[in-house]
Amino acid sequence: MIRFVDSPARQADLEKVLAGEDLIHACMLSSYYNGSRRVGKDLRFWVCYEGEEPRAALLSIYDEVLLCDRGLVKTDELEEFLRFLGCEVLCGRGLLLRRLAPGAGLRVDELAPAMVYRGGALTADEPAFLPVEENFSGLYRMIGENYDHFFDCGGYEGWLADYRFKRLDGVCQIYAYCENGAPVATGALTCASGRCADLGGIVVRRDHRGRGLGQRMVRFLIARAQEHRRLPVLCCAGEELLGYYRGLGFEQYDEWACALAQNT
């Protein structure tokens, strides 16, 4: 049974599903918290039940859908519902999407390791890593010039709007390390919601790599997440970085998956 979130009881069930220690739970909960500020009310949420028990949640934004679950989800009704929505892009846990995608007319197109920090407590002793409150255009340009395919993800206005919506609700903060007034390293807690904090946007300018700035930024973000009693999680940008993040205390627990419509 899939029900639209349109009442306090449904909201309570949605938050119950989104209470997990998981990257996807954090992303969806962050969107839920700032959804009331979105222009046009383009975010829609549903809860998937088995009997009276809420088992999964769906977030749709235009033709894209994000799915998170509490495990043991039956896929038959979900497949039919996704076809009804006309879903063209579905993101969620790899294990679930592999089961769900074929029946929903989708194919799993991308997989990336989802990781969780299991190391010890750290201290955010990096006074030069400052929160970014201005000069967003300079930071955006630095990220785009040093992070392949960043500009493919959308324009400056969308990136800035997403950050500001989340920042207003206190669930996002970007940090930067600067030299001569210009950012040379950056990182963010992009979905610090509920029990998790998602570490993302960790970029070091190419001509400043090899100095340990990226590692220092990761440790700084872990410490900031721990200060707020949140579990640090991240989506690893590629298999080649698994060893790097494992060396920093992370372990893989699943995969972040993206499934596309068969005709795309």
Give the residue extent of every domain in the chain. Answer: 2-112, 117-254
Q: What is the pLDDT of residue 149?
A: 73
What dotted CATH number matches 2-112?
A: 3.40.630
117-254 fold: Aminopeptidase (3.40.630)
pLDDT band at 39 (very low <50, low <70, confident <90, very high): very low
**Cα–Cα distance, 180 to 45 (Å, whole number):** 45
- Dihedral Cα 134, 138, 139, 143, nearest 10 deg: 170
pLDDT of 22 over the 90 cut: no
Task: Please tell me the pTM assigned to this model.
Answer: 0.82
Q: What is the pLDDT of residue 171?
A: 66
Cα first-last separation, the chain: 29
- Looking at per-residue pLDDT, the higher value among 252 and 153 belongs to 252
Token duo for residue 25: 């739970």
Q: What is the pLDDT of residue 133?
A: 83
Q: Confirm whether 2-112 and 117-254 share one CATH topology.
A: yes
pLDDT of 36 over the 60 cut: no
pLDDT of 55 over the 80 cut: yes
**Cα–Cα distance, 234 to 129 (Å, whole number):** 20
pLDDT of 248 over the 90 cut: yes
Residues 185 and 176: beta-carbon distance below 8 Å: yes
The set of residues, in sequence order, having a beta carbon less than 8 Å from that of 96 and lying 6+ positions away, is: 67, 69, 73, 75
Q: What is the pLDDT of residue 40?
A: 45
Of 6-20, 50-64, 165-179, 218-232, the range with the lowest mean pLDDT is 165-179
